[in-house]
Amino acid sequence: MRTICLLATLSIFSFQANAAALNHDSANKLMMKSGCMTCHSIDTTKIGPAYKDVGARYAAPDAATLAYLKGEKPLDYLMKKVRAGSKPGVNKNWIKSKEGKTYGLMTPNPVSRISDADLKDLITYILSLK
C-alpha cells in the first residue's frame, strides 16, 4: 500500500515538472511579466542578446565561454548572473552582436520581479533554444 501511495505521489510530481516546461508563447508572457522584455527578445537582438543566441552559445561553448563559466553548469551560472545583473570587468560576457551592435548592461533582476522557480523555467527554456 505504501509503495502504491509513493508511486502515485511521484507520478504527480513528475507530471507537474513536465507541465512547467515553457514554450515560445508562455516564455514571452513570463518575460513580459518579469520585465525581461524591455531588453530581450527570443529571436532578435535588443539591448541584450536574443535568447536563441544565448542558447546556441551555451549549447556549443567556445574556449572563452568555458573560461567564463569556470566549471559551473550554464543553468547555475546564469541563475546567479541574471539575479545580480552584469558588471563590467566582472561578469559582462556579451560584447558585440552579430550585427555589430554593442550590448549594454543587465540591471539586477530581484525575486520581487521573478521567482526562483520562474527564473529557472525561463533559463531552462533559453538553454533549450539553438
Q: Which of residues 47-106 bind ligand HEC (CB under 6 A)?
A: 47-49, 54, 78, 81-82, 86, 92-94, 103-106
- Cβ pair 27, 54 in contact under 8 A: no
- Cβ pair 93, 68 in contact under 8 A: yes
How far apart are alpha carbons 76 and 42 in whole angstroms?
A: 20
Using CB under 6 A as the binding criterion, the count of chain residues that bind ligand HEC stands at 27
Q: Return the C-alpha cell found at 94.
A: 556579451
Q: Return the C-alpha cell found at 47.
A: 539591448
**Nearest to ligand HEC of 9, 115 (CB atom):** 115
How far apart are alpha carbons 118 and 128 in whole angstroms?
A: 15
**Nearest to ligand HEC of 14, 81 (CB atom):** 81
Task: Select from 20, 26, 28, 39 the one that contacts ligand HEC (CB under 6 A).
Answer: 39
Chain contacts with ligand HEC (rule: CB under 6 A): 34-36, 38-40, 47-49, 54, 78, 81-82, 86, 92-94, 103-107, 109, 114, 122-123, 126
